Structure 1
Amino acid sequence: MTKNSTRRRGTTAVSALVTLLVLAGCGGGRGGDDSETAGMAADAVAPAQEGAAAVPGEAVAPDRAQGEVAAPGRAQGEAGAATDTRVDQRAIIYTGSIRVQVDDVDAAARDATAAATRVGGFVGGDQRSSSDADAVAELELRVPADRFHPVVEELAGLGRQERREIGTQDVTEETIDLDARITSQRARVESGRRLLAQANSISDLVSIENELARREADLASLEAKKRRLGDLTALSTITVTLVGPGVTTAVEEENQIGFLVGLDGGWKVFLASMTILLTALGAVLPWLLVLGVPLGAVWWLSRRRHRSRDPLPELVAPADTPPPSVSAPPPVPGARSAP
């Protein structure tokens, strides 16, 4: 076999490998096909390496193709071993919400912040509305997971606890699945990089670069999800609401019924309506002053000018008419006339 025929065989094998690589990219989003795709790529690499080894002056590592196949197998073996997780090693996300009534909201907020920072946590959010007895402060505390329950108990001791809600979410299986997918995706990225080094034409180079970029993007997305889960499991979230003594609790609001309660609610609605009305009037008043006054003056002047132009009706004296004459009554037959 000549040197040129050997090179042609190697080029044909690499072209076939690129075709398989592009076809595999269509189903790269499915986690279950990663191992099969990597195995197909490894099978295609072997003939290319054998053909390249036949060329004088070129050496090929004998275990490269075996490494292609072994990587997905190791990923599956590690995933199976990680499934056997003890209870104290499970990945659990803790979230809590607590409402406490205190005498001094600002002082209690400082104590809550100190309780979080003392165990290695921090304040993720702080919203306050201060009005003496009606003051309210809402803090979002991030504390280590192993100090979650002690911090909640410490927050409950700041005053009179009104409400407490604690929730957990077990993400162990999701974490294990992400680990397996990340391991498999890293193997696919390394396989793509090796194939990129063996490309012999521009078209093969472009196709492999596009596939490698897609694989690296998928790997970065999986690693970002893993970091997010790690942050949620390492640091738990506690939302604490501190209210002053003048703030009505939810239970008291549900139990308040009667005429006075209705009157108070109606008065509040009336004040709110008047506030809205005055706000709208204040918004319209500048327009009335700027546009309404000049327009009103122009209308008044036009009306006055129109009246001055109308002629007054002339007074005509009535014609002189003679007084009506009184006619004598007709004579009555048989009556005698006066002398």
Structure 2
Amino acid sequence: MSQETAAQPAMGGAEGGAPMADKAAEQAGGGAAPNQGKDTTAQAPDLRIDQRSIIYTGSITIRVDNVTDNAAKVTGIAAGAGGFVGGDERHSGDGSSTATIKLRIPADKFSTVIDQIAGIGNEENRGINTEDVTEAIVDLDARIEVQKARVESGKRLLAEAKSLDDLVMLEREVATRESDLASLEAKKRRLSDLTSLSTITVILLGPNATVSDDGDDPAGFLGGLANGWNALVASLGVLLTVLGALLPWVIAFGVPAWAILQLVRRYRRRDNLPVVTPAAEAPTSTP
């Protein structure tokens, strides 16, 4: 009986989270109204770029005379803009050195930094992508507020638990709600990090370095056909390598074994030959 009565308030708290969140939102809005006045139109102009949440990502390829020196310039430009180096991979060679540096730059300095980096050498390639995540962040904010209300209602029900069964069930429910809330907040932090700090991948090439063409492979049927042909050629190469490694052993052991087998067969044939006895001569009659 106690389990049934406890289940009802628990479910009621889970379903009543949204109304409670609505009440909280109304109270928050009512408290802010005296200070802001009629500010309903102030939240609408999300069409302006400075009020939207946008993720900026870019890549730029530059050919330089000295990769090491210019890599230091790139990191200096990032530090001067308030950013930092998120990754640095370098390959040395005689005139073919390369460096791939990933920068995290404040979003408002994105264009300035990428233009400064382009000026240190001969720009060969540039790509810039943007992703508007304003709606995703607004949705996350609403879901976080609702989930917070559900957590609070679960805690109130937990404080009013009258039996051990109710206590265990409500503790499990509150833990689940808190876990969901933590997941939503982690997603919000991730989006906030991506929108506040843009990502720029800088590729520095030495005078004789070559650019990888991995990203220029055809897609669709032609891409699948090319990949299949490459796989077939690679498989045949492996097969021929194995055959080449086994061939000396086959010659060294196979030829003597074949000769011995032929001799054995020849001797067996001789042993199995039928013995032919001469026929008896018929007696000659005398006249």
- What TM-score results when the alignment is normalised by the length of structure 2? 0.66
Paired residues of 1:75 and 1:180 also in contact (CA < 8 A): no
| Residue 284 to residue 74, structure 1, CA distance change in 2 (3 Å) | farther
TM-aligned CA deviation for residue 229 of structure 1? 1.0
TM-aligned CA deviation for residue 95 of structure 1? 1.2
TM-aligned CA deviation for residue 236 of structure 1? 0.7
| Aligned equivalent of 1:73 | 26
| Cα distance in 1 for residues equivalent to 2:53 and 2:98 | 34
Q: 1:177 aligns with which of 129, 139, 148?
A: 139
| Cα distance in 1 for residues equivalent to 2:68 and 2:259 | 62
Higher relative contact order (CA 8 A, sep 6+): 2
| Aligned equivalent of 2:118 | 156
TM-aligned CA deviation for residue 130 of structure 1? 4.4
Residues 121-200 of structure 1 mapped to structure 2, 5 A cutoff: 121-200=83-162
> Could you list the per-position Cα deviations for residues 213-243 of structure 1 after superposition, in whole angstroms to 9, with x for gaps in the alignment?
2211111111101110111012110022223
| Cα distance in 2 for residues equivalent to 1:97 and 1:75 | 43
SS of equivalent to 1:232: helix
| Residue 74 to residue 306, structure 1, CA distance change in 2 (3 Å) | same
| Residue 302 to residue 15, structure 1, CA distance change in 2 (3 Å) | closer
One-letter code of the match for 1:180?
A: A
TM-aligned CA deviation for residue 287 of structure 1? 3.4
SS of equivalent to 2:130: strand
Question: Do structure 1's residue 35 and structure 2's residue 18 form an aligned pair?
Answer: yes
Question: Do structure 1's residue 295 and structure 2's residue 254 form an aligned pair?
Answer: yes
| Aligned equivalent of 1:324 | none
SS of equivalent to 2:120: coil
Paired residues of 2:13 and 2:153 also in contact (CA < 8 A): no
| Cα distance in 1 for residues equivalent to 2:250 and 2:88 | 46
SS of equivalent to 2:155: helix
Paired residues of 1:93 and 1:233 also in contact (CA < 8 A): yes
| Residue 123 to residue 280, structure 1, CA distance change in 2 (3 Å) | farther
| Cα distance in 2 for residues equivalent to 1:234 and 1:300 | 80
Q: 2:8 aligns with which of 3, 19, 27?
A: 19
> Could you list the per-position Cα deviations for residues 58-93 of structure 1 after superposition, in whole angstroms to 9, with x for gaps in the alignment?
xxxxxxxxxxx8535346778x97945675354322
The share of aligned pairs that are identical, in percent, is 45
- Once the two structures are overlaid, the 10-residue window that deviates more, 211-220 or 100-109, is 100-109
Paired residues of 2:17 and 2:149 also in contact (CA < 8 A): no
SS of equivalent to 1:154: helix
| Cα distance in 2 for residues equivalent to 1:280 and 1:108 | 46
| Aligned equivalent of 2:63 | 101
| Aligned equivalent of 1:223 | 185
| Residue 181 to residue 278, structure 1, CA distance change in 2 (3 Å) | closer
Paired residues of 1:175 and 1:229 also in contact (CA < 8 A): yes
Larger radius of gyration: 1
| Cα distance in 1 for residues equivalent to 2:4 and 2:24 | 23
| Aligned equivalent of 1:112 | 74
| Residue 72 to residue 202, structure 1, CA distance change in 2 (3 Å) | farther
Paired residues of 2:6 and 2:166 also in contact (CA < 8 A): no
| Aligned equivalent of 1:316 | none
SS of equivalent to 1:158: coil
| Cα distance in 2 for residues equivalent to 1:18 and 1:309 | 91
| Cα distance in 2 for residues equivalent to 1:298 and 1:184 | 83
| Aligned equivalent of 1:233 | 195
Q: What 5-or-longer segments of structure 1 have no aligned partner?
A: 1-10, 40-68, 255-272, 312-339
> Could you list the per-position Cα deviations for residues 28-61 of structure 1 after superposition, in whole angstroms to 9, with x for gaps in the alignment?
6xxxx7422x38xxxxxxxxxxxxxxxxxxxxxx
Q: What 5-or-longer segments of structure 2 have no aligned partner?
A: 33-38, 217-232, 271-287
Paired residues of 1:94 and 1:233 also in contact (CA < 8 A): yes
| Cα distance in 2 for residues equivalent to 1:153 and 1:122 | 17
SS of equivalent to 2:142: helix
SS of equivalent to 2:62: strand
TM-aligned CA deviation for residue 198 of structure 1? 0.5
| Cα distance in 1 for residues equivalent to 2:174 and 2:251 | 71
| Cα distance in 2 for residues equivalent to 1:24 and 1:197 | 13
TM-aligned CA deviation for residue 134 of structure 1? 4.4
SS of equivalent to 2:146: helix
Residues 203-218 of structure 1 mapped to structure 2, 5 A cutoff: 203-218=165-180
| Cα distance in 1 for residues equivalent to 2:114 and 2:81 | 12
